[in-house]
Structure 1
Amino acid sequence: MVRVRVVRHSGLRRRALRRRALWSGGEVLVTVGVVLLLLVVHQVWWTNREARAGAEREVRALERAWDGEGDGDGDSRTAVAAPTPSPTSTPAYNGPPGQSAGNPRRSAAPAPEPDWSRAYAILTIPRLHLRVPVAEGVSKSRVLNKGYVGHYPGTQQPGQAGNFALAGHRNTHGEPFRYINRLAPEDTVQVETRSATYTYAVDKTLPQTTAHDGSVLRPVPRSTVRPGHGYTDPGYYLTLTTCTPEYTSKYRLVVWAKLVSMRPR
């Protein structure tokens, strides 16, 4: 006697539904993966490409404006520059050789206050092959996400006694400060303005501190979170700050440099 296997339709339907659910779930996962991949490509590659291109255009525009200023062909950008140092707030001189301690105004030429988010200087770090514009303020949308380096409001300007403090992205949006951890003592950092070029020499690095360690931006920069890192004497300082570790914003990496020379344009 031959036995006939009876297949229940309800079982077939359940298996079909399971296969359909698995297929649909796989399609959803693939779609999500593609979207995430596109977001990563946009954040890591496209924002760098756009920001770097924009920063390079701004550097060229500043150079044209400064070069044209002498023959009367400069544009409105020539009015954006670092302000005059204030002699009433000048600490003990520790600046470029050959300049007078009794005449701190020689460290920068008279100029109006820079406009917010407008580039008014160029930062050059030869060791990193870096040349980017410096703008007033540290707003992400108006400054940092453009691939610029931002000047901390309330800190000094290039060549002034005190602390000229800057911030820049380490990852994405041009990432100008991606490799500042590679800077070593005596590496040079140049800041060009309409009136002069200031050269700083890297002196110290604070590998990691909290995001709220604002004392590293003081006129005499010194970490209160990491005692022993920073300075105790007044001088002419440059501070570079960025996020660390890479692809996070939990901590801050700080590089300090001292002014060693000033050359009028």
Structure 2
Amino acid sequence: MVPRVRVRVGQRVPVVVQSRGRRRTGARLLWVGAETVVTCGLVVLLLVVHQLWWTNQQARAEALQQVRVLEREWDISPSPVPVPVPVSIPVPTSGSAGAGAGAGAGASADVGSPSVPPVAPSPPPGPAPRPAASAAFAVLRIPRLGLTVPVAHGVSKRSVLDKGYVGHYPGTASPGRTGNFALAGHRNTHGEPFRYINRLAKGDEISVRTRERTYVYRVDQVLRQTAPRDVGVVRAVPRSIVSPSYGYDTPGAYLTLTTCTPEFSSAYRLVVWAKLVA
């Protein structure tokens, strides 16, 4: 049986009214929050894809194009331009052939003898203009890693490293010269040319081609980890000031490769040293 509710005359009966508006507002806020979270997740995902994939594709394409441009330019050998030589053409005089033949040097001095005016020799070429900062000037190859990458002046991120190039530390030696030819490159993103230099071992060959010739270095030491402040690794006679057991004591022609370590971090530096062999 259904219980009956007795209501006295004049007694007010309370009525509960549910607020639909509040429910709708709460559901709408929840929906907006979910959309915001999903949108932020997509943005973060796109940034990760851009940083880890797109920058690599773009930088590698630009770097390989620069390698082709350099090597095409170096392979073109301009033909030497002949320098005109002054020529004196004597004109026979009214005398006999014998007289003309016996005149010797005086015959070419006749007023009526036309001659080609002398041409002033070209001045010797001056010193080659110094390459602009960030200009690529060499090609680095590491066969063990299948790496081919241009080398540019400076270690600026925007104008050198982020373009997929390897940067030449200012003030260090030129390729093939006595001293330390020190280079830096990204390990992750923007072409990541030095991502796998940790795989290099003693005896691996590294070549550096310039306009003049190709230099060959052989890996000699690998410093797996050192501090970013360890400037000793790029000195003329490289030696770590953090781990003094790594490095050299005598002058020579060295090649130094530096990059960040561990991967996706810039906490430390990884260093590879090689010596010139050819």
| TM-score, normalisation: structure 2 | 0.76
Partners of 2:272 and 2:79 lie apart in 1 by 38
Alpha-carbon shift at residue 260 of structure 1 (Å): 0.4
CA deviation profile, 1:48-89 (whole Å, cap 9, x unmatched) = 0010000010000001100113447xxxxxxxxxxxxxxxxx
Match of 2:255 among 238, 246, 261: 238
Q: Percent identity?
A: 63
Question: Residue 208 of structure 1 aligns to a residue in which SS?
Answer: strand
Larger Rg: 2
The answer on 1:58 being equivalent to 2:66 is yes
Residue 161 of structure 1 is aligned with which of 167, 178, 182? 178
Distance of 1:149 and 1:238 partners within structure 2: 13
* Pair 1:9 & 2:9 matched: no
Query: Distance in 2 between the 1:2 and 1:44 partners?
Result: 73
Question: The residue matched to 1:203 in structure 2 has which SS?
Answer: strand
1:78 alignment counterpart: none
Match of 1:69, SS state, is coil
Aligned to 2:242: 225
Higher mean displacement: 21-30 or 128-137: 21-30
Is the alpha carbon distance of 1:112 and 1:16 closer, same or farther for their aligned partners in structure 2, counting shifts above 3 Å?
Answer: same
1:144 corresponds to 2:152: no
Partners of 2:133 and 2:241 in 1: how far apart? 29
The answer to whether 1:40 aligns with 2:48 is yes
CA displacement at 1:14 relative to structure 2: 4.0
Partner of 2:187: 170
Structure 1 residue 250: Cα displacement: 1.4
Q: Deviations over 1:232-252 (max 9, x none)?
A: 111110000001111111111
Q: Which runs of 5+ in 2 are unaligned?
A: 6-13, 81-126
Partner of 1:41, secondary structure, is helix
Amino acid at match of 1:223: S
Corresponding position of 1:49: 57
1:256 counterpart SS class:
strand
Deviation at 1:218, TM superposition (A): 0.3
Distance in 1 (alpha carbons) for counterparts of 2:68 and 2:255: 24
Q: For residues 54 and 71 of structure 1, do their structure 2 counterparts lie closer, same or farther at Cα, with a shift above 3 Å needed? A: farther
RMSD over aligned Cα atoms: 2.0
Deviations 1:202-224, CA, capped at 9 Å, x for gaps: 01111111111111000010111
Take 1:48 and 1:2, find their aligned partners in 2: how far apart are those partners?
Answer: 79
Whole-Å Cα distance in 1 between the matches of residues 55 and 209 of structure 2? Answer: 26
TM-score, normalised to structure 1, is 0.79
Which of residues 69, 91, 113 is equivalent to 2:77? 69
CA gap 1:31/1:2 in 2 versus in 1, 3 angstroms: farther
Q: Relative to structure 1, is the Cα distance of residues 132 and 71 closer, same or farther in structure 2, using a 3 angstrom cutoff?
A: farther
Equivalent residue pairs, number: 223
Q: Give the corresponding residue for 1:86.
A: none
Aligned residue number for residue 29 of structure 1: 37
- SS of equivalent to 1:123: strand
CA–CA separation in structure 2 for the residues paired with 1:191 and 1:145: 21
